Structure 1
Amino acid sequence: MIVVTAPTGDIGHQVVQDLLHAGVPFRVVARDPSRLTDEVRAGAEIVTGSHGDAGVVREAFDGASAVFWLLPPDPQAASVAAAYVDFTRPAAGALKEQGVKRVVAITALGRGSPLASKAGYVTGSLAMDDLIASTGVAFRGLANPSFMDNIARQAITIRDQGKFFSPISGDLRLPSVATRDIAAVAARWLLDDSWTGQSDVPVLGREDISFNEMAEIISDVLGKTVNYQQISFDAYKARFVQFGMSEAMAQGMTDMAWAKDQGLDLTVPRTPGHSTPTSFRQWCEDSLKSAVLG
């Protein structure tokens, strides 16, 4: 039995689809099962509740051989540590109690870098990984750079202003990955019951690309001029606070962006095994274009 957490999120719902296509038994943990598709409700076992709750994860992990672990967003958390480590503590206990053999988790690049200790969400994510690994479970942390899909969150601004924003240098080439590729990698590891040990699995996308290069591709795909605008880190943080984030979580986002601007995501050499198929142009054609133009 495979357990999938966050099954309605950007990555989780695609992992679920991959498991449905594989025809394997699996179980999902969902706070609101009504958000699941009819296909998932018919094809999966459902445990209702939060995977930060001890009773819920004990029930969900009963008889499970593998778990897909992904945190839900908590923009109003009191601290990054609370959002990542404290949320995961009940699951770590349940992994040991229920004898789960393997965990595949969504995490971040940066392990071993001096920047990792002051990188906000990345720092919290790596600490979460350490907590899971301390249970002795076989573990694969899918270490990702920034998601292409995050740019779609600025679809209205791209449509109305012809701009998108970040505090990261416009000329800095960094890896970027599509969530559908992350989900495909996760599903492969979940369906493979032969692996042991603990390690990170870098998932770097197809290419390193700068925000200025992204703007050129977006302009070409949309048939309209779109520019990238670098903003200050203070302005970046203020936008998150304005949208309702706690001070601590907004600072965590800002610290992560600062570390990426310093090259955090370039710590892992690109190899064919670390690369994934979807190019930024292909993602724009498949996803961003419809998000912007409707």
Structure 2
Amino acid sequence: MIVITTPTGQIDRQVLDIVLDSAEAIRVIARDPSRLPPRVRERVEVVQGAHDDIDVVTKAFAGADSVFWLVPPNPHAKSIQDHILSFVRPVCEAINSQGVKRVVGVSSLGRGIAKNAGQISAIFAMDDLIESTGVNYRSLCMPGFMENMLWQVEPIKRQGMFFYPMSGDRKVPHCATRDIAAVAAELLLDHSWSGQDSIQVRGPEDLSCNDMAQIVSEVLEMPIRFQQVPGEAYKATMMQHGMTEAWAQGLIDMAAAVDRGIYNAEPHTPLPATPTSFRQWCEEVLKPAVLD
């Protein structure tokens, strides 16, 4: 039995799409089952509710061999740490009470290195708590998602620019969510692994924001440039769009940590890089979004 905790989320729905083709029994936790595609509703068992509810996760984890675990973001949270831990504490209790064998979680590069890194620091606290249960655990350690560029579609359209509070020359890895999903699905379908370990999920190249602007320009066939913005200005803009001060500050702290090199500090593992290049992702995902 495989359990997926946020089946309509950006990564989880792609994981689910892969494992649906297997012979495994699948269970999902969904606040609103009507949002699930018909193909999913016909194939999986649905536990309705939220996975920060101990009763819901206990029911969902009963008889589970493997769990795909991800804490959904909440830009309206008053505390990043409290938001993350409100999901992690119930799941740890349910892991123990229901005898879950394996958990695959979404984490970040930079563990053991990042300090005061906003949302990233909170995610590392999540890893520590899950590992404290003794469950077999694989944390998928990745950099920023290529899909984050979709937040910049409007300024790309209107101004020919995108913005971030980070140096334009800092080269960092990037990965596509499709590749994260592929790695996660492979682990969920593999019943042979044990112990606790981290798996780096890196794209095939490290790129700076200036590099990305050049690639976006070539794909869109129009000039696009990157503009670094001061952290406080970026924070104010995010709050104008409804984020809490805590969540917006976390994004600033995270960007500052990335700019200091937390994604570059760990040596690359011998595992191959994930296949999707930024150029390919721009052709297949960003360009249709901009031209829509």
Same topology, TM > 0.5: yes
Deviation at 1:271, TM superposition (A): 4.4
Deviation at 1:227, TM superposition (A): 0.7
Give the AA of the match of 1:122.
Answer: I
Over residues 31-62 of structure 1, what are the superposed CA-to-partner deviations in whole Å (9 max), with x where a residue is unaligned? 11111111111111111110000010001000
Does the 8 A contact of 2:109 with 2:142 survive in 1?
Answer: yes
Structure 1 residue ranges (4+ consecutive) displaced by more than 6 angstroms after TM superposition: none
Q: Which moved more, 1:246-255 or 1:96-105?
A: 246-255
Among candidates 171, 193, 196, match of residue 194 of structure 2? 196
Are 1:221 and 2:219 counterparts?
Answer: yes
The residue correspondences of 1:60-75 to structure 2 (distance < 5 A) are 60-75=60-75
The residue correspondences of 1:138-287 to structure 2 (distance < 5 A) are 138-271=136-269, 273-287=271-285
Deviation at 1:156, TM superposition (A): 1.7
Over residues 196-220 of structure 1, what are the superposed CA-to-partner deviations in whole Å (9 max), with x where a residue is unaligned? 1111111111110111111111111
Does the 8 A contact of 2:115 with 2:257 survive in 1?
Answer: no
Matches of 1:128 and 1:63, distance apart in 2: 23
SS in 2 for 1:270: coil
Deviation at 1:126, TM superposition (A): 0.3
| Gap regions ≥5 residues in structure 2 | none
1:79 corresponds to which residue? 79
Over residues 140-198 of structure 1, what are the superposed CA-to-partner deviations in whole Å (9 max), with x where a residue is unaligned? 00011000000012112111111111011111110000000000000011111111111
Deviation at 1:24, TM superposition (A): 2.1
1:90 corresponds to which residue? 90
Are 1:109 and 2:112 counterparts?
Answer: no
Deviation at 1:2, TM superposition (A): 0.3
SS in 2 for 1:273: coil
Does the 8 A contact of 2:210 with 2:225 survive in 1?
Answer: yes
Does the 8 A contact of 2:200 with 2:269 survive in 1?
Answer: no
2:25 corresponds to which residue? 25
Matches of 1:274 and 1:263, distance apart in 2: 21
Matches of 1:208 and 1:269, distance apart in 2: 13
1:123 corresponds to which residue? 121
2:135 corresponds to which residue? 137
Are 1:42 and 2:27 counterparts?
Answer: no
Decide which structure has greater helix share: 1
Does the 8 A contact of 1:166 with 1:231 survive in 2?
Answer: yes
SS in 2 for 1:217: helix
Matches of 1:16 and 1:149, distance apart in 2: 18
Give the AA of the match of 1:66.
Answer: S
How many residues are treated as equivalent by the alignment? 292
Does the 8 A contact of 1:106 with 1:143 survive in 2?
Answer: yes
Deviation at 1:15, TM superposition (A): 0.3
Matches of 1:90 and 1:179, distance apart in 2: 26
Give the AA of the match of 2:78.
Answer: A
Give the AA of the match of 1:256.
Answer: M
SS in 1 for 2:263: helix
Matches of 1:268 and 1:193, distance apart in 2: 28
TM-score normalised by structure 1 residue count: 0.97
TM-score normalised by structure 2 residue count: 0.98
Deviation at 1:272, TM superposition (A): 5.0
2:56 corresponds to which residue? 56
Does the 8 A contact of 1:158 with 1:292 survive in 2?
Answer: yes
| Gap regions ≥5 residues in structure 1 | none
Report the CA distance shift for 1:271/1:93 in structure 2 as closer, same or farther (over 3 A).
closer
